[in-house]
């Protein structure tokens, strides 16, 4: 009787419809993660932990390519404990402020430890909906066409170096390079160097040049930054960022002003006045506070000279907005990066006017299901910390949607 009943039930089951078969095919596809940096690796691990196959596509020949290209003295501005990715602590021997090379070693170990599926040497040039209406089609190098159930874009916050189109820039005869090309101070011993931009990168390169025996170091500043001590009585600035990240910006801005006056000296006499805009308000616009790793003392001692912003180049000179003309031996532009997502995703209407994803974490853009982004913000609570939190949320959302998709194709 049992066999007869089973046969009857099977006979009565409706044949799978074309939409159901398409959904089944989509559920069998992997999730493609574009980018083998911290964001991509953490999402791949979170998906693997949920039993979802994730394939990381990395355009270089190794994971952590962006970190490998940073300047030599770079250390994380966030603590070792809060910077670890899900499922693997950073070794204690790395110290509290992890050096660039140790970050790279950690990312390599992370991929190995979690047995992540990574394909290197593959650059994705375009992402578009799959022709069958389910999942995504990725066009990549070598004419590859890959179809995935979902896509997580994690190509990095610092993707494409941005060099302003200053008037006369192309004709400037002296060395002019982006900070992405700077490694250490050795080539600049005894030279007069102008660093343009006073974010964390510009400030740290200026200090590195001073310590590396450059003859003269000037720092061109357009908007005075908020400067914070990396630690105060052992308390990291990042911890304060974590505590206030969800508070109203006007409240944090008011609280930060007296704390700044207590912790950071007034550098107005040296050309670096206190900013007039609020700390958290500026941070949410993308201007992260500068963590002091020697800039304050260098400015006070006159080893780093603050000058006006760069306006252009002419006759071998650098023109500043206050009318000053400089003739440095080299110019290093710490002028930031763009996300570089326009060619990849611009046709999908998922980017804001500044080229950044309109959503992050588990949320997908309206009308574009199955497309996720991670690592495109730079919060004061720490980029790596937020990446780790987003990874778990993205994996949960993808796993849930795959389960729902599979349940729709089940026979009643």
d(CA 389, CA 45): 12
User: CATH fold of 2-158+338-408, please?
Assistant: FAD/NAD(P)-binding domain (3.50.50)
For residue 237, the model assigns a pLDDT of: 93
Give the helix ranges, DSSP H, for 50-189: 65-68, 80-83, 100-113
Pairwise CA distance, residues 41 & 52, whole Å = 14
pLDDT of 377:
87
What confidence score (pLDDT) does residue 270 get?
A: 97
CA angle 183, 184, 186 (to 5 degrees): 130
Domains 2-158+338-408 and 169-336 share a fold: yes
The SS3 of residue 238 is helix
Contact 351, 159 (CB under 8 A): no
Non-local CB neighbours of 350 within 8 Å, separated by 6+ positions: 357, 358, 359, 365, 368, 371
Q: Under 8 Å CB-to-CB from 32, ≥6 apart: which residues?
A: 54, 55, 57, 124, 136, 138, 146, 148, 150, 151, 152
Instruction: Name beta bridge partners: 126.
Output: 139
Identify the burial level of 243 via C-beta atoms within 10 angstroms of its C-beta, where 0-12 means exposed, 13-18 middle and 19 or more buried.
Answer: exposed
The CATH code that applies to domain 169-336 is: 3.50.50.60
**Across-strand partners of 147?**
137
Q: How far is CA 401 from CA 152, 226, 324, 334, 362, in A?
A: 14, 42, 59, 42, 11
Query: Which residues of the chain fall below pLDDT 50?
Result: 1-19, 406-412
Q: CA-to-CA distance for 392 and 204, rounded, in angstroms?
A: 33
d(CA 129, CA 231): 47
- Count, in order, helices (H) and strands (E) of the chain: 13, 22
3-state secondary structure of 330: strand
Cα distance between residue 280 and residue 263, in whole Å:
17
CA atoms of 351 and 347, how far apart (whole Å)? 9
CA dihedral (208, 210, 214, 218) positive or negative: positive
CA–CA distance from 379 to each of 79, 358, 407 (Å)? 14, 16, 38
Measured between alpha carbons, how far is 205 from 183 in angstroms, rounded to an integer?
Answer: 9
Cβ-based neighbour number of residue 33 at 10 Å: 30
**Alpha-carbon distances, residue 220 vs 113, 200, 231, 273 (angstroms):** 44, 13, 26, 14
Residue of 239, 258, 205, 235 lying closest to 380 (CA atoms): 239
The full set of domain ranges for the chain reads 2-158+338-408, 169-336
Q: Which tens digits make up the pLDDT trace of 325-377?
A: 999 999 999 999 999 999 999 999 999 998 999 999 999 999 999 999 999 98
Token reading at 347: 């046709």
- How many other β-carbons are positioned within 10 Å of the β-carbon of residue 101? 14
DSSP track, 121-147: S--EEEEEE-TTSSSEEEEEGGGEEEE
Question: C-alpha distances in angstroms, 326 versus 167, 220, 308?
Answer: 15, 11, 11
pLDDT at 134: 86
- Residues 321 and 167 sit within 8 Å (Cβ to Cβ): no
Kindly report the pTM of this predicted structure.
Answer: 0.89
Instruction: Report the 10 Å Cβ neighbour count for 298.
Output: 22
């Amino acid at each position: 009787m049992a066999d007869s009943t089973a046969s009857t039930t099977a006979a009565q089951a409706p044949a799978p419809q074309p939409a159901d078969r398409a959904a089944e095919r989509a559920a069998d596809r992997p999730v493609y993660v574009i980018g083998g940096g911290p964001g991509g690796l953490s999402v791949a691990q979170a998906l693997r932990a949920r039993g979802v196959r994730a394939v990381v596509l990395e355009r270089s020949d190794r994971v952590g390519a962006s970190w490998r290209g940073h300047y030599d003295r770079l250390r994380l501005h966030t603590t070792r404990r809060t910077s670890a990715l899900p499922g693997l602590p950073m070794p204690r021997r790395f110290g509290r402020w992890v050096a660039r090379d140790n970050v790279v070693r950690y990312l390599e170990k992370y991929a190995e430890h979690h047995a992540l599926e990574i394909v290197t040497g593959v650059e994705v040039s375009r992402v578009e909906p799959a022709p069958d209406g389910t999942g995504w089609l990725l066009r990549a190098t070598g004419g590859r066409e890959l179809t995935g159930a979902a896509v997580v874009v994690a190509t990095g916050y610092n993707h494409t170096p941005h060099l302003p189109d200053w008037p006369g820039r192309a004709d400037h005869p002296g060395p002019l390079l982006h900070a992405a090309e700077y490694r250490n101070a050795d080539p600049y011993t005894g030279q007069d160097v102008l660093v343009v931009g006073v974010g964390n990168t510009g400030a740290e390169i200026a200090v590195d040049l001073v310590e590396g025996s450059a003859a003269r170091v000037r720092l061109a500043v357009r908007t005075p930054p908020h400067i914070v001590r990396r630690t105060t009585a052992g308390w990291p600035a990042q911890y304060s960022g974590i505590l206030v990240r969800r508070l109203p910006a006007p409240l944090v801005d008011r609280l930060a002003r007296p704390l700044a006056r207590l912790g950071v000296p007034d550098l107005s006499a040296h050309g670096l006045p206190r900013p007039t805009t609020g700390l958290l308000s500026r941070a949410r616009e993308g201007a992260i506070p500068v963590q002091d790793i020697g800039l304050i003392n260098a400015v006070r001692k006159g080893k780093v000279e603050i000058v006006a912003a760069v306006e252009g180049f002419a006759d071998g000179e650098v023109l500043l907005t206050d009318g000053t003309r400089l003739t440095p031996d080299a110019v290093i532009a710490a002028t930031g990066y763009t996300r570089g997502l326009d060619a990849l995703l611009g046709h999908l209407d998922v980017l804001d006017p500044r080229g950044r994803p309109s959503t992050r974490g588990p949320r997908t853009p309206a009308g574009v299901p199955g497309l996720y982004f991670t690592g495109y913000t730079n919060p004061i609570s720490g980029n790596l910390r937020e990446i780790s939190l987003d990874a778990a949320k993205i994996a949960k959302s993808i796993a849930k949607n795959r389960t729902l998709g599979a349940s729709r194709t089940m026979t009643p």
